[in-house]
Structure 1
Amino acid sequence: PDMRAAIDADLNQLKMIFSLYERYDQTIKTSQIHEELAARLYEELDYRLEARFCKLYGSILNDEPGVHVPEVIDSLSTDRLLTATWLEGEKILSFVDAHPQQRNELAMNMFRAWYVPLYHYGIIHGDPHLGNYTVRPDNTINLLDFGCVRVFDPSFIGGVIDLYNALMTDNTELAVHAYETWGFKNLTREQVETLNIWANFLYGPVLEDKIRPIGEVSGGVYGRDTAEKVHKKLRELSRAAGGISVPREFVFMDRAALGLGSVFLHLKAEINWHRVFNDLIGDFDIDALRAKQEKTLAQFGIPLAA
């Protein structure tokens, strides 16, 4: 009953922390980050909406043999209670010492659980922490907790793919177009070059056509050196051009990439991520995505992206 008041208090404290941060370091403007976090947190209080997202995921992942979604029990659900079928499974970190083939299969199932909805429907599960999926005896994944799901405008998904193509072909103009599609504004040439350092590292696994891990365990998904290099460069540039305002859409895309990447690191998965990714986006068409997204969201009574 008091959850909304608790979220209000937490968001007010976070706003104060962001304000103090910006006084000390003007590299990143945080207003849109706060807005995005607030919107997603308030959505987590809406159990009816979560139930609809759970049903939507069950539908769009129905043809994925490696992923399972619980079924909502409407007769036992209310505005304050969400009831769904129980899915038996073990924690994924129980498999970090499993056979490499098993670990790679788990990683592939996780990859498809997150990115089939994103590239085929413009939707992403925004909370990839370790408690939101379990592993069945047959190595398939149970995907849980649909309180934090982000719907993107299809143009944003197009921007994600445009940035990938820009990095593959070293096309600066296309990279600028991609960042602007994401919502970055008034970027200088130096800021674009610096963001490309980050992007080359984040997209690195899908840029190389070879079997490889997602990153290095010692450096994490991003790599400490890369993160420090990007922040230092942006901080220097912010003195002349002002800080960069991070678009709202970026927040949960980045969170998903980091969360899944961390799981793949723990599993020591080695996969040709380039081919997996290209198989997923090979027939991408923004108009087709928009039509499919609108039809699917309407089917489950879920609003389009704001």
Structure 2
Amino acid sequence: MRERGRTRRLMGLSARTGGAMLKTRLGGQADWRALGEALFEGLSELKGPAMKMAQMMSQWDDLLPPDLADELARLQRQADPMPWPRIHEALELQYGDIHTYFTEVEETPFASASMGQVHKAMTHEGEAVVLKVQYPGLADVLENDLKQLRRIMSLGRWFKVPQARLDALFEELAAGLRDELDYQAEANALARYRERYQSDPRLVIPEPLFALSGQHVLAMSYVSGTPLRELENAEDALRQRVAATLADWITQELFTFGELHADPHAGNFAADEQGRLIIYDFGAVIPVPEGRLNAMMQLLDATLAHDPMAMDEAMANMGGRQGQGAPLSLYCEAAECIAPLFEPGEQDLSDVRVHRRLRELSPKVWAAMDRLQPPADTLLLSRALNGHYWNLMRLKARLNMHERIQPLLAWARSNSH
């Protein structure tokens, strides 16, 4: 009965979303604020894949209607936690009598998300640990939720997105969500990253506690820090230090190790008292093939050169073009928006003028969807990069992007010959 009720709720939210999109497509004015409020209330309660997808969408707030983006963004920071009795149920499923392992488990979580929430606990040895607890029954409803998400994504056909492209995007999203339920893989990722960055004094990664972890619970050492979203009003020197570390780490991940942390939720990052960057969550780590990196850098190179024909060629090489007639004027406008971030010298990534221009450009991107498509195998990659960028923006980062990007562009040029 519970699963049928969940399905009805998701179908209702899907219908409401589709109605707003259809109204807009027909030239009407949708109430995006009301839709956003309904989605927040429904998805905050339901949790799971649908909430995860909405959180992803909220990070693309330069493409969404502002009122809808504002409401969905609340899912990143205000989602209601699951009641303690349900979490206790999941802990008992993992441990049996939890007092065999812990003297105390705090009933109030200090973090809650779409697929689970985090509780602090104390072992009998006096060690403070955190328990990432998967919501009870989530694995059982995952596939049914994904069916409903497929229906929602099918609305993209109204914006001239081909069905084959929608199917490919859905499969990538579904694979990512299934991976997030694999807590053993996340524990292994924690261990791998701790070893990888053990000599980097700017990074802190919690230790996975394999003896206390299992299918439904991931245990790790407790590392105290100030969440990234609370650093917005911190001292400038601290913000710039954390921002530089974050930017360096993302670059190293991509170009040295061919991987990327693909869940840039602001709650997954913090800073400790020494100004080191703490990375808490490794539920989504994706491989990034060298060929994909090379194609992305060639597109950026063409963009910074304000060369629309080269931009179109790069988009085609990435699988991001279809139909007749390259949207050359759109490429030119995109280059005008993006190039200022990479001019010589220090650039303020929180400059609202840049984001205003990108938001003004988004309706033109949607209008060109019959010719311009997101590459089908880069949904998680583009979402992750966009999310990391917005975290840098929240930190009011000032970075010399021109200097940072030059060796990467040179690498891409050498690979293109």
Does 1:97 find its partner at 2:97?
A: no
Aligned counterparts of 2:191 and 2:357: Cα–Cα separation in 1? 33
Query: What is the CA RMSD across the aligned residues, in angstroms?
Result: 3.0
2 CA distance for matches of 1:57 and 1:248? 28
Give the greater-gyration-radius structure (CA).
2
Alignment of 1:2-21 (within 5 A): 2-21=137-156
Greater RCO (Cα-Cα under 8 Å, separation 6 or more): 1
Match of 2:381 in 1: 253
Give 2:256's aligned amino acid: H
Matched, 1:115 2:243: no
Q: Any unmatched runs of 5+ in structure 1? A: 289-306
**d(CA) in 2 for partners of 1:286 and 1:165?**
9
Give the C-alpha shift of residue 226 in structure 1. Answer: 1.9
Cα gap change, 1:63 to 1:166, in 2 (>3 Å)? farther
TM-score computed with the length of structure 2 as normaliser: 0.59
Provide the rounded CA distance (Å) in 2 between the counterparts of 1:140 and 1:245: 39
- The answer to whether the 8 A contact 1:27-1:244 is kept is no
The share of aligned pairs that are identical, in percent, is 22
Q: Residue 363 of structure 2 corresponds to which residue in structure 1? A: 228
Contact kept in structure 2, 1:54 and 1:70, CA below 8 Å: yes
Contact kept, 8 Å, 1:126 with 1:256, in 2: the verdict is yes
- Aligned pair count? 278
Of Structure 1 and Structure 2, the greater strand share is in: 2
1:219 CA drift (Å): 6.7
Shift of 1:103: 1.6
* Within-5 A mapping of 1:83-232: 83-172=219-308, 174-186=310-322, 188-191=324-327, 194=330, 197-198=333-334, 201-202=337-338, 204-205=340-341, 207-217=342-352, 220=355, 223-232=358-367
Code of the residue aligned with 1:13 in structure 2: it is: Q
> In the TM superposition, what whole-angstrom CA distance separates every residue of 1:87-123 from its partner, at most 9, and x where no partner exists?
1101123222233222211111121232311121221
Do the aligned partners of residues 60 and 183 (structure 1) sit closer, same or farther apart at CA in structure 2, a change above 3 Å counting?
Answer: farther
**Is the alpha carbon distance of 1:38 and 1:222 closer, same or farther for their aligned partners in structure 2, counting shifts above 3 Å?**
farther
Q: Name the CA distance, whole Å, in 2 between partners of 1:245 and 1:136.
A: 41
Aligned to 1:274: 402
What is the distance in 2 between the residues matched to 1:124 and 1:144? 14
**Cα separation, partners in 2 of 1:218 and 1:168, compared to 1, 3 Å:** closer
> What is the TM-score when the length of structure 1 is the normalising length?
0.78
